[in-house]
Amino acid sequence: MKKNLLFVYSLMFLLGSCDRDRWQFFNIHNDSEITIVVCGAYILPDTLLPGKQLKTIKIPPNRNYEINCTLFDDDYCMRLKYEKVTLFVLDNTVFQVVPWDTIRKYNIVLKRYEFNRQDITVLLKKYDNRYWALPYP
């Protein structure tokens, strides 16, 4: 019983002390007239979309959407400390109709963002440590 309690208290301490800074969350603001699809991954700079389809988030026109690192399979943004993440913005209509391999082959991307934790920290300072937003377009 004491071992179980010790384990629970240790787990609570570890979870409570996790580095949960604001840079782990950011907004995408779709300031366009179309619905967009956003996907992201840790990939090398200047590369195309990956071969396998990524997790996506659909954002309607004139809406904000909060994104965290679970979009790129990094629950606590640990990789963001050392690697850059790339976000791709696609037209939802294209995404629904055109196969992924064709989107990838012809690079049918509306916009591409690339950043790391340091980039986000700089932006947070610029915006007085409030959540920052990536604008589209």
Sign of the torsion angle spanned by Cα atoms 104, 110, 115, 120? negative
Band (pLDDT 50/70/90 cuts) for residue 44 is: low
> Does any domain span residue 118?
yes
Position 97 in a domain:
yes
104 lies in a domain?
yes
Tell me: pLDDT of 5 over 90.
no
- Among residues 94, 128, 130, 134, the alpha carbon closest in space to that of 114 is found at 134
Concatenating the DSSP letter of every residue in 62-87 gives TEEEEEEGGGGT-TT-TGGGTS-EEE
Strands 133-136 and 25-30: parallel
Tell whether 34 is covered by a domain: yes
| Residue 50, domain member (yes or no) | yes
pLDDT, residue 13, reads: 36
Q: At 35, which CATH number?
A: 2.60.40
Q: What percent of the chain has pLDDT over 70?
A: 74
Task: Give the domain extent around 124.
Answer: 21-136
Give the strands of the sheet with 133-136, arranged side by side: 63-68, 25-30, 133-136
Residues 6 or more apart from 98 whose CB is under 8 A from it?
Answer: 108
- Say how many domains are in the chain: 1
User: What pTM value is reported for the model?
Assistant: 0.76
pLDDT at residue 108 greater than cutoff 70: yes
